[in-house]
Amino acid sequence: GENVEQHPSTLSVQEGDSAVIKCTYSDSASNYFPWYKQELGKRPQLIIDIRSNVGEKKDQRIAVTLNKTAKHFSLHITETQPEDSAVYFCAASPIPGGSYIPTFGRGTSLIVHP
Amino acid sequence: DAGVIQSPRHEVTEMGQEVTLRCKPISGHDYLFWYRQTMMRGLELLIYFNNNVPIDDSGMPEDRFSAKMPNASFSTLKIQPSEPRDSAVYFCASRTGGAYEQYFGPGTRLTVT
């Protein structure tokens, strides 16, 4: 089955800095990579995703990059703000259909200091 | 839609007691997932259902855990007997077949003393 490794487990940055979270996956059949954000005491929510036919996707201050050859993908947050503080989970899966069962990384706790 | 609903939100019980967690998925969603979240292991998939049928329960830690989905709008996760190491946040999530996003419930924080 799929195995997703996520690093770092904790990331501390100053407000305004950039933050990068990296994930690797093992199953070459995976071609959908979502990122979920979980604020303290809240539920995980999808913030951005990328599919294997795209190398990069941006949404305002967040971007994801994908390197299928190396089997790794990353989340980039620019101009970080205190409200970006949360746990971020990456995941990998075959393209949604009946078999879309994402395997999650263990999460990265991002702390943005004002 | 109210989203995925879970109850109770918090549960404190003593070791050896039976615990039942409940989930109501979003109407029309035909996939339902149960996850356990701990600091040590992150988000673990315990079991998932498709059209009320359990498809993969390989993540269920042991026989003390069981899950049912008697109809499209209700599922339970039962732990009997509970142990302190079962303390965690349990999330239910649902989605439609072919959709990308999973919608998580608010979670149940279980504490077993």
Segment B43-86, tens digit of pLDDT: 999 999 999 999 999 999 889 999 999 999 999 999 999 999 99
Tell me the one-letter amino acid at A107: G
Q: How many angstroms separate the CA atoms of A84 and B74, rounded?
A: 34
Q: What is the pLDDT of residue B81?
A: 96
Question: Which of A49, A55, A70 lies closest to A5 in space, CA to CA?
Answer: A70
Is a pLDDT exceeding 90 seen at residue B89? yes
Per the listing, tokens 């049912």 go with B68
- Which residues of chain B make contact with A106, given a CB cutoff of 8 A? 41-43
The DSSP result for A67-92, as a single string, is ETTTTEEEEEE-S--GGG-EEEEEEE
Q: How many angstroms separate the CA atoms of A105 and A37, rounded?
A: 12
Q: What is the pLDDT of residue B15?
A: 97
Instruction: Answer whether B26's CB lies under 8 Å from B103's CB.
Output: yes
Rg (CA), chain A: 14
- Which residue ranges of chain A lie beneath pLDDT 70? 95-99
Catalogue the E-assigned strands of chain A: 4-7, 10-14, 19-25, 32-38, 45-51, 56-59, 62-67, 72-77, 86-92, 103-104, 108-113
Task: Answer yes or no: do A44 and B50 touch at CB < 8 A.
Answer: no
Average pLDDT for residues B23-29, to the nearest whole number? Answer: 96
Average pLDDT for residues B7-29, to the nearest whole number? Answer: 97
Instruction: Answer whether A49's CB lies under 8 Å from A29's CB.
Output: no
Instruction: Answer whether A92's CB lies under 8 Å from A49's CB.
Output: no
- Which residues of chain B make contact with A34, given a CB cutoff of 8 A? 100-101
Average pLDDT, chain B: 94
Cα–Cα distances (Å) from A82 to A11, A13, A15, A74, A77, in that order, read 13, 10, 7, 21, 12
Catalogue the E-assigned strands of B14-87: 19-24, 31-38, 42-50, 53-56, 65-71, 74-79
Mutate to test the interface with B, among A43, A45, A104 (most CBs of B within 10 A): A43
SS3 label, residue A46: strand
Per the listing, tokens 């195995």 go with A3
Q: Interface of chain A against chain B, CB under 8 Å?
A: 32, 34, 42-46, 49, 89, 96-98, 100-107
Give the model's confidence band at B100: pLDDT under 50 very low, under 70 low, under 90 confident, else very high.
confident
